[in-house]
Amino acid sequence: MTHPNDSDASAARPRIRPAIALVQSDTLSAIGLKSIIEKMMPAAELSLFSSTRELLAERHPERFYHFFVSSDLLLSAAAFFLSHRHRTIVLVRGEETSHLPEGFHQLDVHQGQEELVRSIVRLAHTSHSASGKEPEAVKIARGAEREGKEMPRLTPREKDVLREVVMGNINKVIADRLGISLATVITHRKNLTMKLGTRSVATLTLYAVTHGIVNSEALK
């Protein structure tokens, strides 16, 4: 028997988590990239596919917010990805771009974690800046924070130091640029580690971007 408030209960259900498809035949590489993206966008739901056939076998493959697809698999479903070009990010290795169709965003997976995170943030900004909307990666990451615990507040000087760290500057350079002692810089960095629970520059980069401390356009 259908309860009269079933429709209300259905409407009150939590929103479906944004879905991201990672299509890559190299399982180890796929797992590593999945781990990085999950840390960047914990509110998103990632699905791994070892082939485009698996992806297209999904009932509604177009439901994904983004498609991360390795370059060797892109052409096996070229028509599909061309129709979703603005949501497709092609995973390449170094300069492996000559055989790819024009107009796709590309991500070099032969990078360290810190640079890979910077590249993903830049891609998110590039793919959405034309519309004037907040980058989806940043939006999803911020949404995860709203659903979780409140993040610690940083002092203005801690934000200054965080900004310099994210931009890749060493402690001595940070001290010179901010006009403070080296010991003070080290103290602020220790405070940042305690408050944010991480020393990872990649994670600090995501925090800085999602909280407006660093503009994603400024990442080099």
- The CATH architecture of the domain made up of 151-218 is Orthogonal Bundle (1.10)
C-alpha distances out from residue 210 to 77, 106, 140, Å? 33, 22, 9
Mean pLDDT per 10-residue interval, the chain, length 220 residues: 46 61 89 82 84 93 90 89 88 68 80 78 60 48 46 87 91 95 95 85 76 71
* Range 19-143 has CATH code 3.30.300.30: no
Q: How far apart are CA 64 and CA 131, in angstroms?
A: 19
Predicted structure pTM score: 0.60
- CB distance 59 to 33 below 8 Å: no
Domain extents for the chain?
Answer: 19-143, 151-218
- CB distance 49 to 70 below 8 Å: no
- CB distance 206 to 117 below 8 Å: yes
Per-residue model confidence as pLDDT tens digits over 87-127: 888 888 776 555 667 778 888 888 777 778 777 777 766 65
